[in-house]
Amino acid sequence: MAKSGLAAGLSWGIARTASGEASPVLAALSALVVVQVSVRASLRTALQRSAAVVLGVLGALAVGDALELNGLTVALLVVVTLAVAELVLHLPRAAARQVPVSALIVLSAAAADPGSSGWYRALDTVIGAVVGVVVSLLLPASRLVDARQTLDRLGDAIGAALETMGSALDQPWSTEQTRDWRRAAHAVRDRLVDDATEAVGNSRDSARWNVRDRRHAAVLGRYEEMLPRLERTGIGTWVIARTLDDQARLADTDHAAVPAMGALLVALAGASRAAVRDLLDDAGGTDLAPALAEVRERRERCVRGASRRARLALEQEATYGDPLESEWLGYASVLVQVDRIVSDLSLGLPAGGPTLDPS
């Protein structure tokens, strides 16, 4: 907050002196936006985002001076600025959305002062962007706290999704429930994973340019190495939710309870949370190993149940699409995803993690 206020105030004073504008709102606005989009960025990405903001603002000024503003021109401005940000500069989705937002705010500011010179407004924009970049470089935000918080939220969300599914499997369950599970897991897979990716990013390299994070380079490196494994865990959680949703649709009524599978998912939820706790524990946590041991124990019971269903399907000569065949294949799919998640969470622990028994 203090950094944003400093950038806005400095840009206002400099722009007022340079352009003679009585109220250089665009300078303060550009500085504020540039500081905000640079919070999670490396040096190179911060410059890219700042350039995108400036282009968006200048594009808005050009449109506002040359064309009559209406629904069509505003729509075209948003499409063009988003295309440049995402397809040309390859900015993350959250950062790319800042560009058309900035352009639209500029249009409103320009409309409030139609007598102002276009050149002076462009100068104010550039001054504000330069001040924002300089303030971001001189007073860099630490990525450590942001990375810790987003990873903690991701781990908790994965655990909550798995625990919700596991707890519900103790009782008959229906498509109404599985739709909610699938929706929640989808949010984890997309939104929360994206947040963590942006927060952690290439933080180890960025620490070289950030005096506040330089001493945390090793910790940020651990976060960076763990992030792809947590991303795959989020994807695996969504696959489990999708598989259970498919299973629920096989039954005309509520699907029968599967308490063994429920206990396995609850244990996996505990292991997911433990992995993140150990990662974020500066003293070196020890929660993960016993949590994974419980997953292995719960898994063995599920494997025996899946094997019994497979043998029953063979004995009854179940055909393709038969509910019995689909059921055991669905359970086997869940076990495969559990094994993949456990494999990712187990990296760095002694060997001996579980593998799927095809029998």
Q: Are residues 171 and 245 in the same domain?
A: yes
Count helices and strands (H / E) in the chain: 15, 0
pLDDT number for residue 178: 93
Residue 340 has pLDDT above 80, yes or no: yes
Q: Are residues 177 and 133 in the same domain?
A: no
* Angstrom distance (rounded) from CA 134 to CA 9: 13
Q: Are residues 133 and 149 in the same domain?
A: no
Residue 351 lies in a domain: no
Q: Are residues 76 and 125 in the same domain?
A: yes
Of 124, 54, 61, whose CA–CA distance to 89 is shortest? 54
Q: Are residues 200 and 280 in the same domain?
A: yes
* Angstrom distance (rounded) from CA 358 to CA 166: 23
| 176 contacts 255 by C-beta, under 8 angstroms | no
| 341 contacts 236 by C-beta, under 8 angstroms | yes
Residue 353 lies in a domain: no
Q: How far from 285 is each of 255, 275, 280, CA to CA, in Å?
A: 39, 9, 8
- 332 vs 90, more confident: 332
Residue 358 lies in a domain: no
Average the pLDDT over each of 7-11, 15-19, 175-179, 281-285 and give the range with the smallest value. 281-285
- Confidence class for position 276, pLDDT limits 50, 70, 90: very high
DSSP label of 89: S
Q: Are residues 179 and 209 in the same domain?
A: yes
- Confidence class for position 347, pLDDT limits 50, 70, 90: confident
Q: Are residues 242 and 170 in the same domain?
A: yes
Residue 130 has pLDDT above 50, yes or no: yes
pLDDT number for residue 253: 73
Residue 232 neighbours by CB distance under 10 Å: 17
pLDDT number for residue 354: 42
Residue 37 has pLDDT above 60, yes or no: no
- Confidence class for position 25, pLDDT limits 50, 70, 90: confident
Residues paired with residue 173 on neighbouring β-strands, in sequence order: 255
Average the pLDDT over each of 30-34, 233-237, 337-341 and give the range with the smallest value. 30-34
Average the pLDDT over each of 149-158, 159-168, 240-249 and give the range with the smallest value. 240-249
Domain ends where: 94, 110, 138?
138
Mean pLDDT of the 139-158 span: 85
173: helix, coil or strand?
Answer: strand
This prediction has a pTM of 0.67
Residue 63 lies in a domain: yes
Residue with tokens 């609850």: 266
Q: Are residues 180 and 125 in the same domain?
A: no
Residue 90 lies in a domain: yes
Q: Are residues 44 and 149 in the same domain?
A: no
Residues in the chain, overall count: 359
Give the alpha-carbon dihedral of 329, 334, 336, 339, to 10 degrees. Answer: -160
State pLDDT tens for residues 218-227: 888 888 889 9
DSSP 223-261: HHHHHHHHHHHHHHHHHHHHHHHHHHTT-SSPBPP-HHH
pLDDT number for residue 86: 78
Mean pLDDT of the 193-211 span: 69
Q: Are residues 193 and 127 in the same domain?
A: no
Domain ends where: 97, 119, 138?
138
Residue 355 neighbours by CB distance under 10 Å: 8
Of 239, 215, 65, whose CA–CA distance to 161 is shortest? 239
Residue 357 has pLDDT above 50, yes or no: no
Residue 148 lies in a domain: yes
Mean pLDDT of the 294-318 span: 72
Domain ends where: 138, 163, 193?
138
Average pLDDT of the residues of the chain:
77
Residue 108 has pLDDT above 70, yes or no: no
- If you average pLDDT over each of 68-72, 98-102, 225-229, which comes out highest? 225-229
- 57 vs 344, more confident: 344
CATH number, domain with residue 148: 1.20.58
Give the angle 351-166-288 at the CA atoms, nearest 5°.
30
pLDDT number for residue 80: 80
Mean pLDDT of the 334-344 span: 93
HSE toward the beta carbon, residue 130, CA cutoff 13 A:
10
Residue 355 lies in a domain: no
319: helix, coil or strand?
Answer: coil
Q: Are residues 165 and 307 in the same domain?
A: yes
Q: How far from 273 is each of 65, 120, 280, CA to CA, in Å?
A: 54, 54, 11
CA 122 to chain centre: 34
Give the angle 345-349-354 at the CA atoms, nearest 5°.
65
pLDDT number for residue 141: 66
Residue 23 has pLDDT above 80, yes or no: no
Residue 29 lies in a domain: yes
Residue 78 belongs to domain spanning? 2-138
Average the pLDDT over each of 27-41, 105-119, 148-162, 218-232 and give the range with the smallest value. 105-119
Q: Are residues 124 and 189 in the same domain?
A: no
* Angstrom distance (rounded) from CA 105 to CA 60: 9
* Angstrom distance (rounded) from CA 193 to CA 32: 26
Q: How many domains does the chain have?
A: 2
pLDDT number for residue 359: 37
